[in-house]
Structure 1
Amino acid sequence: MATDQLSRTFAALADPTRRSMLALLADGERTVGELVEPFDMSFAAVSKHLRVLENAGLVRRSRTAQYRPAILNPEPLAAASEWIAEYEKFWNANLDSMGELLARLQHNKGEDA
């Protein structure tokens, strides 16, 4: 089980249904009942997905009497984006180097012909 915040975030994002729920929540808060319709799932299944998102910190639940809407919390997504950006720099640099190497090899191959 994921113990650090980044691992919980990526584990929660691994499921396409949860990613779709986050996309809906990006437009505004929603109750479990409002999330049941677009996913053609049971109330219990949607609640379970929301719990995973909540445990990952991606969703907060407010409470006003019986009304408990889910609200998107973008902070863990920002942290995941920063982590990805660091690796993107690494891969872009490596891919650029590989592209240069392939261009040199292609050029050398042309000289040999």
Structure 2
Amino acid sequence: MVKYSDEALDRTFAALADPTRRALLARLGKRDSISVSELAQPFAMSLPAIMKHLDVLSDAGLVARAKTGRIVACRLTTAPMEQAMDWLNRYQRFWSEGLDRLAAFVEEEEWQPNQTLPPTSPGRASASNAVSTPRRRKSSRRGPTRKK
């Protein structure tokens, strides 16, 4: 198994895995800066629970917090999200190119279910012309079972 070794990217995706954290980021995206109490207002959870979510987002670098007196304001930071998007776009290009090649192949030669296949030379069987029959499972006796 191949593991991607960039810890910052791992933290970003781990932070984005939780729906509450994604909702917090969505709220932060609507305003430039918002206090923690305002941010927590629509959620049915305690302020300490929101703070734990914000800690995860801060550790991932997705949220920056600044304290002014007794008010802690949060704002969205974009660098980790840009790294995640770059990583995702690389794979999106890979899959798009592969699917485009597949679509081109399929459109090049459309096969109709009633279409007959070209005959093969005598003495040489073609796998596509061979009639396949379902393979029967071998029946075997069950071994001895222990009773309790």
Could you say whether these structures have the same fold, taking a TM-score greater than 0.5 normalized by the shorter chain as the test? yes
**Correspondence 1:19-98 to 2 at 5 A:** 19-28=22-31, 29-98=33-102
- Once residues 106 and 115 of structure 2 are traced to their aligned partners in structure 1, the CA distance between those partners, rounded to angstroms, is 15
Which protein has greater RCO, CA pairs closer than 8 Å, 6+ apart? 1
Q: Percent identity?
A: 40
> Structure 2: how far apart are the matches of 1:11 and 1:98?
33
What is the TM-score normalised by the length of structure 2?
Answer: 0.68
Q: Distance in 1 between matches of 2:98 and 2:6?
A: 31
The normalised TM-score by structure 1 is: 0.87
Rg larger in 1 or in 2? 2
Question: Counting strand residues as a fraction of each chain, which structure ranks higher?
Answer: 2
| Greater share of residues in helix | 1
Name the amino acid aligned to 2:107: A
Instruction: Output aligned runs, 1:11-26, within 5 Å.
Output: 11-26=14-29
Aligned residues: 111
Q: Structure 1 residue 100: deviation in Å?
A: 2.1
SS across alignment from 2:67? coil
Superposed CA RMSD in Å reads: 2.0
Structure 1: 5+ residue stretches without partners: none
Query: Which structure 2 residue ranges, 5 or more long, are not aligned?
Result: 117-148
User: Where does structure 1 differ by over 6 angstroms across 4 or more consecutive aligned residues?
Assistant: none
Is residue 99 of structure 1 aligned with residue 103 of structure 2? yes
